[in-house]
Amino acid sequence: MARVFQHLLWRLEVLAYDIVRVLMMPFSLDQVSGFAGKLFRFIGPKTSKHHIARTNMKLAFPDASGAQIDQWLKESWNQMGRTFGEFPLLHQFSVSKSTPRIEVVGLEHFEKLKKSGKGAVLVSGHFANWELLAAGFLQAGLPVRVTYRPTNNPYFDKRILKQRAANGVTLMVPKSGPKGAKELITALRSGTSVALMNDQKFNAGLEIPFFGVPAMTAPGPTRLAMQTGVPLIPMSIARTSGANFRVTIHEEIKIANTGKRADDIKATVIKITEFIENQIRAHPTDWFWVHRRWPKELYKKQ
């Protein structure tokens, strides 16, 4: 009985999502994005996530004043609201071709990769509307498989897969253990690139300084690049205004090569983490601040 009730709740969640999409139809992308931003800016500070975001900002920017943190938090909720509001309308962005809404910088790095015939490990973080990072490799015509974590709701997950596929994004579920790693390695060795996020907490990872504070960080992208001999290429996205963005493909991160595997993995993960830090410093309100990136005890309310 409990299982039947759970599936009913899942279906109701999808129904609610579909109703919201229908209600959005009469409005433009800019209108929906703007309204969602204002809504989150009002609701966000009233949730428990606000404390997490504020703690994160204080840890990342210990010298920032209280007034500066408050200003960043307001804009951060606005940005987050816009991102969630834009998700049901991703098809309107036309990420596979150049449009005024999404500027792509650094395409020459992918053109060079295509000529080499190699795949690459593409790494990024949850910046601005991270769904639109796909514009970089889709406009370059680069074959890429994007890893993602399925949602708890299997019916909603199907909607996500369908919606992203409509934009030309091929998703693959990163299974745990040797089987999952083998699939990723096979894709890379066949010349297909793999895109992964590398900015979230990973309990089974390495303890790496993140803004000077130890944080558990996933070494997976580094290990994949080392094992397959493919380049490690970072990407970022920034919201330039409203529902407009700039996607940047950066120069590859050179993998440490001292002959000591464990040391090289850690050194390269540090390089990726420093890249993430630099992007956050450049655009402090674009990052997904509501994630508990550091140890739980740091988030206890004083």
Q: Is residue 302 part of a domain?
A: no
249 found inside a domain: yes
In a domain, 162, yes or no: yes
Query: Is 300 contained in some domain?
Result: no
Tokens of 262: 């464990």
In order of 59, 113, 200, 296, 300, the CA distances from 54 in angstroms are 9, 40, 17, 14, 12
- Domain-embedded: residue 265: yes
Q: Is residue 87 part of a domain?
A: yes
Count of domains in the chain? 1
Nearest to 211 by CA among 149, 273, 169, 279: 273
Encoded amino acid at 122, one letter: L
Please check whether residue 297 lies inside any domain of the structure.
no
pLDDT (0 to 100) of residue 166: 73
The tens-digit pLDDT sequence of the chain (302 residues) is: 778 788 888 888 888 888 888 888 889 999 999 999 999 999 999 999 999 999 999 999 999 999 999 999 999 999 999 999 998 888 888 887 778 899 999 999 999 999 999 999 999 999 999 999 999 999 999 999 888 777 888 888 888 888 777 777 776 655 555 666 788 899 999 999 999 999 999 999 999 999 999 999 999 999 999 999 999 999 999 999 999 999 999 999 999 999 999 999 999 999 999 999 999 999 999 999 999 999 999 998 64
Cβ-proximal residues to 225 (8 Å cutoff; 6+ apart), any chain: 120, 121, 231, 232, 255, 268
Cα of first residue to Cα of last residue in the chain, in angstroms, is 42
For residue 302, what pLDDT is reported? Answer: 46
Q: What is the pLDDT of residue 173?
A: 59
- Residue 298 covered by a domain: no
Give backbone dihedrals phi and psi of 212, rounded to 5 degrees, phi first.
Answer: 85, -5
Report d(CA 135, CA 103) in Å as an integer. 9
**Domain assignment of residue 204, given as a range:** 2-291
Contacts 24+ apart (CB under 8 A), 38-45: 38/78, 38/81, 39/81, 39/85, 40/77, 40/78, 40/80, 40/81, 40/82, 40/84, 41/74, 41/77, 41/78, 41/81, 43/77, 44/77, 44/80, 44/81, 45/73, 45/74, 45/77
Burial class of residue 191 (count of CB atoms within 10 Å of its CB; 0-12, 13-18, 19+): middle
- Comparing CA positions, the residue from 141, 142, 171 lying closest to residue 159 is 171
90 Cα distance to chain centroid: 15
Q: Is the four-CA dihedral 192, 89, 283, 288 of positive or negative sign? A: negative
